[in-house]
Amino acid sequence: MKKLRTILTYITSCRIWLIALACIDLFFTFLAWLAYPEKFYSLVWLMIFVSFAASMIPLTVLIKRHEKKAAAFHHFLLEPDEANEYLLCEVTPMTQHPYIHELGRHLRKKQADVDDRMVQIADYERYIEAWVHEIKKPLSLMTLVSDNRKEEMSPLVQTRMLHVRDQVRGDVEQILYYSRLGATHKDYFWEPLSILSICKESVEDNLTLLEEAGFTIEFTGEEKCQIVSDKKGLMFILSQIISNSVKYSEKQSNPLLRFTVKEDMAPKQTILSVSDNGPGIPSSDLPFIFDKGFTGDKGDYLSRSTGMGLFLVQKMARDLAIELEVKSGPGSGTTFSLVFPRVQHSLGG
């Protein structure tokens, strides 16, 4: 099919010469009819054969040249060095050589710019990763000081220190998981997990943030309900959802965070719902909350957001085969539902 398309393309591009050849054939056919009426049909068939041969032989040569030109051009685009540029010039008309040289110079310049930018990005990523690991040291020191110097500071000061520590730790985790999601090799460890136990552990990790905002925590569901997932990734998702609920609680008098686990037997899946009674998300913003950098333009729910937390949550959920659903509305709170597929597993391997 591709060969036929190429032939039709060349026939179309040479239609002026073919029309000229047909006109010449008609003229000589008229002369043959006048001069040799007794041999008219023989001469007509001879002219048709000669015209067909005169058309097909150059067309075949053009197609062969086209294949060589296409191959040379493909190699030139993949590697626009001077050697491939020379090979391309060998199979193209001289009138096109100046354009090929100009294109080669342009592509080599762009490739050099891309290589420089890739080196800069790699250096920047290494710097960020090194900075993230270094920032953990003062965070650990802050925890050590707050634990060992409790008697030297008021409970309020200690609580505020831990609150700031957890906020910084959450921002650092965002950077780490952003880097992790972009990695070629992802070190996920799939294991059976008690979903309510993971929720309680995530609440414990964010306890200072929740206590500072005065949250009440509720857990509903069976403790033995298990899913198969990566613990670190799931903890990150829950931590970001908790952080969002705290961030947008608007200093409510009775903020509430409820974790509900249920099993849906029809499609064989487990659903974890994390609900708050916060201000909710405007309906106009709801379809875009997982977009990178989206902060919304209405209401208070997203107005102070960097637009990265929920973006990373969705990316991590996709990696872990978790389906995310969000229900919300202004003044009615927000519910994040994590839908886990039921996986048959054997504890004995």
Interstrand relation of 256-264 and 216-220 (parallel, antiparallel or unpaired) = parallel
pLDDT in tens, the chain (349 residues): 666 776 677 667 677 877 887 888 788 888 878 787 878 788 788 888 888 877 777 777 777 777 788 888 888 888 888 898 998 888 888 888 999 999 999 999 999 999 999 888 888 777 877 887 788 777 777 777 777 777 777 777 777 777 777 778 777 877 777 776 666 567 788 999 999 999 999 999 888 888 888 899 999 988 788 899 999 899 999 999 998 888 887 666 789 999 999 988 767 889 999 999 888 888 888 888 888 877 665 444 444 455 678 888 998 999 899 999 999 888 888 999 999 987 765 544 4
Which pair of tokens denotes residue 122? 């790699």
Q: Per residue, what are the HEC states of 267-290?
A: CCEEEEEEEECCCCCCCCCHHHCC
Per 3-state DSSP, the chain is made up of helix, strand and coil in percentages (nearest 5) of 60, 15, 25
> Domain locations in the chain?
2-92, 193-249+266-341
- Domain 193-249+266-341: which CATH number of 1.20.1090.10, 3.40.50.11390, 3.30.565.10, 3.10.180.10: 3.30.565.10
